[in-house]
Amino acid sequence: MISMRSFAALCVSIVLATPVAAQERRLPSSQAEIKLSYAPIVQTVQPAVVNVYAAKVVQNRNPLLEDPIFRRFFGGGGPQPEQIQRSLGSGVMVDASGLVVTNNHVIEGADQVKVSLSDKREFEAEIVLKDSRTDLAVLRIKDAKERFPTLELANSDELLVGDLVLAVGNPFGVGQTVTHGIVSALARTQVGITDYQFFIQTDAAINPGNSGGALVDMTGKLVGINTAIFSRSGGSQGIGFAIPANMVRVVIASAKNGGKAVKRPWLGARLQAVTPEIAETLGLKRPSGALVASVSKGSPSEKAGLKVSDLIISIDGFPVDDPNAFDYRFATRPLGGSASIEVQRGAKPVKLSIPLEVAPDTGRDEIVLTARSPFQGAKIANISPALADDLRLDPSVEGVVVTDLADDAPAAGVGFQKGDIIVSVNNKRIAKTSDLERITNESARLWRITLVRGGQQINVTLGG
């Protein structure tokens, strides 16, 4: 019996046993070599990989009904027909009680979720936790009366470029499919998919429908959740991305603890990338590290002694190439202890210990604005440290933030977006939610609004 790691080594040795110039084709030297196969891994993994079907009901609204002149002459047209939108993805059973992890984008907005096992049985599932920042979600099979097969999570930090991996999922809805490849790259931080950009890249074929499926190593352990592909055709072109198992573990732990949101350590500092110009100013050989741009009062960073212009170069022994790498490493640290970071301050290295604690979430005073105004239908909140961390806002900016918008809300039609910080309205400073609620209750012909979006101040004037 040849172990999976021996198999991987043997595959390499067959190619590298002789010098390149002297390579030759040869027959297998034993019965064992003829029978080498991924089948033993697949047979272990397949029962724990599921198909995820999500459906939501939407109104098939006639665009003519948005025209006020049309409505004036022809009326509202009565109730509009409903349409069911369906999405398809994959998932991985991570707890024998029926806990499944998948991608958040697979089940986003779903009214109904079903899980189909490899033996074709289907179960209704409920959404336990959604985390848009990692694009992960956790489901639970309803009324489970059995113990389900699961996959054990690997330590994704032990992966190396060149390791063999298998991708398991349901591409294009054709049914459960297995593809193989290698780890093409690690710590991809410029992909632009989620807040925590630190992806495993693989050339194992990943296609639409594979989202939420398993990326496993040669021991059958889960090393990542397949989440996206780079493609010009819509199909696999050998560049797929998976969320590392160490991040998946954090989300699963929050779900098992009964949380509706993922609890992560709070840094309380804003970081920026090191450009070639900054690197030259700091005397660095290459642009790397995360530069501290600001430190919030009372935050763990301030308690640890982190200062503006410090350059973070490592955390708990892991090198930090950019802010995305630091964010991932920091977010996967366990709460309750501390993280050791090394910074370059001026010309000398300094070691700091940052306590790993959650951001305080007091005083949000979240409300939905209902008065007739450009803000009607917007959910707003005061900026707490936890909310600033969750929405990636600069905590030093004062104002109230838009936390949610219904698709059909007037505020969405005007152009407001989640994460917009409302600074002033009609030349009146907005310090808390009650300020904006009071102003929206006052009728006005014009609304002069100052807001901050993505760090940029925007001034707009809207009719009443």
Task: Check whether residue 153 and residue 221 sit in a common domain.
Answer: yes
> Which of 131, 135, 203, 390 does the annotation list as catalytic?
135
Comparing C-alpha atoms, which of 210, 186, 53 is closest to residue 124? 53
pLDDT at position 94: 95
More confident position, 463 or 214:
214
Residues 139, 240, single domain; the answer is yes
**Does residue 362 sit within a domain?**
no
| Residues 63, 10 within the same domain | no
Residue 129 placed within a domain: yes
Q: Is 394 a catalytic residue?
A: no
Among 90, 156, 184, 211, the active-site one is 211
Contacts 24+ apart (CB under 8 A), 287-290: 288/313, 288/319, 288/320, 288/321, 288/322, 289/313, 289/320, 289/321, 289/322, 289/344, 290/320, 290/322, 290/323, 290/325, 290/326
Q: Do residue 216 and residue 315 come from a single domain?
A: no
Q: Does residue 19 lie in a domain region?
A: yes
In the prediction, which pLDDT does 198 show?
A: 83
Q: What pLDDT is recorded for position 193?
A: 67
Angle at 230 between CA 224 and CA 235, to 5 degrees: 100
Question: Band of the pLDDT at 277, cuts 50, 70, 90?
Answer: very high
pLDDT of residue 82 exceeding 70:
no
* 21-43: pLDDT as tens digits: 444 667 778 887 777 788 889 99
Tell me the mean pLDDT in the region 285-308: 92
Do residues 433 and 306 both lie within one domain? no
H or E segment to which residue 31 belongs: helix 31-34
Per-chain mean pLDDT for the chain: 84
At 316, which CATH number? 2.30.42.10
Note the pLDDT tens digit of each residue in 93-144. 999 999 999 999 999 888 889 999 988 899 999 999 999 888 999 999 998 8
Would the pLDDT of 408 be above 70? yes
Same domain flag for 29 and 45: no
Residue 338: which pLDDT band, with cuts at 50, 70 and 90? Answer: very high
Instruction: Choose one of 247, 263, 279: the last residue of a domain.
Output: 263
Assess whether 135 carries a catalytic annotation.
yes
Q: Please name the helix (run of DSSP H) or strand (run of DSSP E) that holds residue 413, with its range, or none.
A: helix 410-414
pLDDT at 343: 95
Kindly tell me if the per-residue pLDDT of 46 is higher than 90: yes
Show Cβ contacts of residue 324 under 8 Å, excluding neighbours closer than 6 positions: 189, 190, 196, 197, 198
Options 90, 105, 217, 296, the catalytic residue: 105
- β-strand pairing of 421-425 with 318-319: unpaired
Q: State whether 14 and 81 are in the same domain.
A: no
Of 119 and 74, the one with more pLDDT: 119
Residue 66 maps to a domain:
yes
Using alpha carbons, select from 154, 275, 280, 174 the residue that is nearest to residue 217: 154
Q: Are residues 230 and 374 both part of a single domain?
A: no
Number of domains, the chain: 4
Do 375 and 390 fall within a single domain? Answer: yes
Long-range contacts of 305-309 (CB under 8 A, 24+ apart): 305/352, 306/269, 306/341, 306/343, 306/352, 306/354, 307/345, 309/345
Rounded to an integer, the average pLDDT of 436-461 is 88
Structure-token pair, residue 65: 């009904």
Is residue 360 assigned to a domain?
Answer: no
361 within a domain of the structure (yes/no) = no
**Helix/strand/coil for 440:** helix
pLDDT value of residue 176:
85
pLDDT tens figures, 361-406? 887 888 999 888 899 899 999 988 888 888 878 766 777 999 998 8
CA distance 145 to 151: 19
Q: What percent of the chain has pLDDT over 70?
A: 85
Dmax (CA) for the chain in angstroms is 87
pLDDT category of residue 79 using cuts at 50, 70 and 90 = low
Query: Among the three residues 355, 384, 409, which one is the final residue of a domain in this structure?
Result: 355
CATH code assigned at 79: 2.40.10.120
Out of 78-92, 134-148, 324-338, least confident range:
78-92
Find the domain containing 14 and state its range: 4-36
pTM of the model: 0.77
429 within some domain: yes
Residues 240 and 344 in one domain: no
Q: Are residues 322 and 213 in the same domain?
A: no
What is the C-alpha to C-alpha distance for residues 327 and 312, in angstroms, rounded to an integer?
Answer: 11
| Domain match, 125 and 177 both | yes
